[in-house]
Amino acid sequence: MSPGVKIFGSPTSAEVARVLMCLFEKDVEFQLIRVDNYKGTKRMPDYLKLQPLGQALTFEDGNTTLVESRAICRYIANAYPEQGNRDLIGRGMLERASIEQWLETEAHSFDPPSSALVFNLAFSPLMGMEPDEEVVKDSKSKLNKVLDIYEQRLKEARFLAGDNFTLADLSHLPTAQRLVSNAGCRSMFTSRGRVNEWWQEISRRDAWRKVVAMQQEPPPMI
């Protein structure tokens, strides 16, 4: 175990949730220092030394400091290879290459339209803003194309990179959860048989349930 691992951020942040999921999967002990996403310059001084721009996530492990969630997940999987889920980063060059391919697909093809939908359909109404209908239409079109590709891939394998749950699947969870739960996009998953089965399986993992429970906890009083 490594009690020196620290996460600065809020579990409600998709970036933070992705890293928390990875830590739970790898059975790595950590300390979460909750930082309210909306407090800006009022955030704790120690955090601002690490993250001067006040971004959503900072990860510390000894002398290592990282701020991008997918890079952090890769780091955790490589730094703690014998702990917890040993399949997250793959066990051979071909498997690792497949995982990287799907991680890139998630980051560049799945996440952008998904995040746009979450913002417009889930967050905008809470802020008294009207959703941008053109952005919603375009994002749905793009996401449907990605999910069609996933449907075909998942007819060939249980998970995106093969028969094991890996970072390729894990990385989708935070934004997909918001799409399904808060953005009214559940049917985009349930209408595709294999995508729906995949989503049901990965979202029921114990590690993800722990993250969801943390997201439902009240924020700290500051």
CATH number for the domain including 44?
A: 3.40.30.10
Same domain? 46 vs 123: no
Is a pLDDT exceeding 90 seen at residue 3?
no
Domain extent at residue 21 = 5-87
- Choice among 78-87, 140-149, 213-222 with the minimum mean pLDDT: 213-222
Give the mean model confidence (pLDDT) for residues 6-31: 96
* 80 and 106 belong to one structural domain: no
Residue 18 to residue 2: CA distance in whole angstroms: 19
pTM above 0.85, yes or no: yes
Band (41; pLDDT cuts 50, 70, 90): very low
Asked if residue 73 has pLDDT above 90, the reply is yes
Taking each helix axis from N to C end, the angle separating 111-118 and 173-181, rounded to the nearest 10 degrees, works out to: 40
For residue range 95-108, what is the model confidence (pLDDT) as tens digits? 999 999 999 999 99
Whether residue 45 is contained in a domain is answered as yes
Q: What is the mean pLDDT of the chain?
A: 89
Report if residue 133 sits inside a domain. yes
Q: What is the mean pLDDT of residues 12-34?
A: 96
Distance CA(98)–CA(75), nearest Å, equals: 17
Which of 67, 87, 107 terminates a domain? The answer is: 87
What is the spatial distance between Cα 160 and Cα 123, in angstroms, rounded to a whole number?
Answer: 29
Local confidence band at 54 (pLDDT 50, 70, 90 cut-offs): very low
99 and 79 inside one domain: no
Residue pLDDT, tens place only, 58-67: 999 999 999 9
Q: Give a yes or no: residue 178 inside a domain.
A: yes
State the total domains in the chain: 2
Is residue 99 a contact partner of residue 168, using CB atoms and an 8 Å limit?
Answer: yes
pLDDT at 35: 83
* Bridge partner residues of 5 (DSSP): 61
Share of the chain above pLDDT 70, in %: 87
Q: Please compute, for residue 177, the number of CA atoms within 13 A of its CA located in the half-sphere on the CB side.
A: 23
pLDDT of residue 85: 97
Please write the tens of the pLDDT for every residue from 170-195.
Answer: 999 999 999 999 878 999 999 999 99
Angle at 180 between CA 174 and CA 184, to 5 degrees: 130
Q: What is the DSSP letter of 42?
A: G
Query: How confident is residue 217, by pLDDT bands cut at 50, 70 and 90?
Result: confident
Question: Following DSSP, what letter does each residue of 107-161 receive, concatenated?
Answer: IIIIHHHHHHHHIIIIIHHHTT----HHHHHHHHHHHHHHHHHHHHHHTT-SBTT
